[in-house]
Amino acid sequence: MPGIDECLLEAMRLPGARGAALVDWTSGLALGSVGEFPGGDHEVAAAEAAEVARLTAEQRAFTPDHGEDDRADPPVEDLIISNRDSYHLLRFVPTSFDSSVFLHVWLGRSDGNLALARIRLGEMAGRLVLG
């Protein structure tokens, strides 16, 4: 089971990967990062991505419609943000505690494979060991 560094290096092997980070969406801090980030500052990118993740995760419109409150799973699986030249994929990580982390991968649009990235990030999130 990979730790943070191994997981981020694996994410950077995705086609088109420009940068990857594990971010705590409650604090906005990057727990680890590798590669490039928009604007050149991984801490700013982490804080801005955390704001989007937090706003999405806290909205009832985006959460599963069932009566059980399952704290082990994040309320949202992932977010995809696209612009003219890139994709940002935010994959929430399920944990044994009240989950508040996500993987953020920045992909170049011309050489990235969004479908493959989404599948692989889901696999990575399931194997990631935090602690």
Distance between CA atoms of residues 81 and 69, nearest Å: 27
The CATH number of the domain holding residue 98 is 3.30.450.30
Per the structure, the complete domain to which residue 22 belongs is given by 4-127
Q: What is the pLDDT of residues 83-127, one digit of tens each?
A: 999 999 999 998 777 668 999 999 999 999 999 999 999 999 888
Do residues 88 and 81 make contact, with C-beta atoms less than 8 angstroms apart?
yes
Distance between CA atoms of residues 92 and 122, nearest Å: 9
What is the pLDDT at residue 14? 97
Distance between CA atoms of residues 39 and 42, nearest Å: 8
Query: Stretch 25-48: mean pLDDT, rounded?
Result: 92
Number of domains in the chain: 1
Q: Is the pLDDT of residue 30 over 60?
A: yes
Q: What is the pLDDT of residues 40-80, one digit of tens each?
A: 899 999 999 999 999 988 887 877 776 555 555 667 889 99
